[in-house]
Amino acid sequence: MSIPDLTLNDGRSIPQLGFGVFKVDPAETERIVTDALEAGYRHIDTAAVYRNEEGVGRAIAASGIPRDELFVTTKLWNDRRGADDTRAAMGESLEKLGLSHVDLYLIHWPTPAAGSPVETWETLAALRDEGLATSIGVSNFDERYLPEILATGIIPAVDQIELHPQFQQRPAVSLAAEHDIKIEAWGPLGQGKVDYSGGAIGEIAERLGVSWAQVVIAWHLASGRIVFPKSNRRERMEENLAGAAVQLTAADVAAIDALDTGAAGRVASDPAEVS
Ligand SMILES: NC(=O)C1=CN([C@@H]2O[C@H](COP(=O)(O)OP(=O)(O)OC[C@H]3O[C@@H](n4cnc5c(N)ncnc54)[C@H](OP(=O)(O)O)[C@@H]3O)[C@@H](O)[C@H]2O)C=CC1
């Protein structure tokens, strides 16, 4: 299965379709990530707070896949802020992953109650300049929080936000596009909390002889977003990867675009409420 690469605003390449490990049990992570790598994924999205970086690292080490063929993202959790603590947290993540650098390091949430993220963001830039992270970005910085980051003049390579057909985050997406920041869509399948198997998506899936999840993944890819659907099941890992081969028409993309219900479509946390 050929997975397209996108070029980030710092010139680096990123596989557009990867594998996410939120809620993957730490005890199961090595096996599940091994399955994902065997299925053909080369981009893994984890986070310190998932407590499964060790399992990701063990699976990578055991795979024998050359490091430069893999793209690994991890994220700074909300209780780690400021220069020294951010450096320490990143060191801990690298140690758990067994890696000398990650491909992408993100501030996980804006945590507005904790004050300005600027010192932390500038520290990520320093860590990037030192080679510990090839690219840096933010997560859950929607149009309310991205401006403070942009004002530093250090432009994130990506913004990872909740995004799926009923919650398309148009204000954040258009602000990111103005700065050539790629959107990574988390919860790309609606986290299993939305029934996307009927309606316009179901009709497209039936016409093309593919699954609803493959249609949704193909829609993200056709829209220029990066996605990393999570599944514990090998057959779904393969199904989701095969979503990259699904060809949607412009009318199909428009029909899914029309499913947006704005803020009412959110299925997970509002960044304003996450501390
Ligand atoms: N930055 C952030 O704040 C956040 C980032 N993320 C990242 O985004 C990734 C993806 O988002 P996530 O929250 O996991 O949600 P997803 O939208 O990827 O949905 C995962 C759910 O969908 C099910 N599923 C997967 N494939 C299929 C399929 N083909 N057909 C039917 N159901 C399927 C899974 O079940 P099963 O496992 O049983 O197959 C699971 O219940 C995360 O793993 C994480 O890396 C996620 C949340 C927040």
Instruction: Give 68-102 pLDDT, tens digit per residue.
Output: 999 999 999 999 999 999 999 999 999 999 999 99
Closest ligand 1 atom to Cα of 24: 43
Query: Looking at this protein, which amino acid is placed at residue 230?
Result: K
d(CA 224, CA 6): 8
For residue 86 the two structure tokens come to 């951010």
Task: Kindly state the percentage of the chain with pLDDT values over 90.
Answer: 99
C-beta separation of 215 from 205 below 8 A: yes
β partners of residue 160: 139, 184
- Of all protein residues, the one whose alpha carbon is nearest to atom 27 of ligand 1 is 236
Taking alpha carbons only, the member of 39, 100, 31, 38 closest to residue 72 is 100
Instruction: Check if 50 is active-site.
Output: yes
Determine phi and psi for 102, rounding to 5 degrees.
-105, 160
How many whole angstroms separate alpha carbon 68 and alpha carbon 56?
A: 16
- Number of CB atoms found within 10 A of residue 70's CB: 18
**Averaged pLDDT of the chain:** 98
The average pLDDT across 263-272 equals: 97
CA 186 to ligand 1 centroid distance, Å: 8
Which of 50, 105, 145, 196 is catalytic? The answer is 50
Read off the pTM. Answer: 0.98
User: For ligand 1, what atom is nearest to the CA of residue 190?
Assistant: 17
Residue 216 has pLDDT above 80, yes or no: yes
Side-chain-side CA neighbours of 197 within 13 Å: the count stands at 4
Separation of CA 23 and ligand 1 centre (Å): 8
pLDDT at 2: 87
Q: Which amino acid is at 7?
A: T
What are the extents of the domains in the chain?
5-194+220-231
Cα distances (Å, whole numbers) of residue 61 to 33, 43, 99, 209: 11, 14, 9, 37
pLDDT at 195 over 90: yes
Residue 21 banded pLDDT, cuts 50, 70, 90: very high
d(CA 173, CA 169): 6
Q: Is the pLDDT of residue 1 over 80?
A: no
Residue 152 above 80 pLDDT? Answer: yes
Pair of tokens at residue 49:
């707070």
Determine whether domain 5-194+220-231 maps to CATH 3.20.20.100: yes
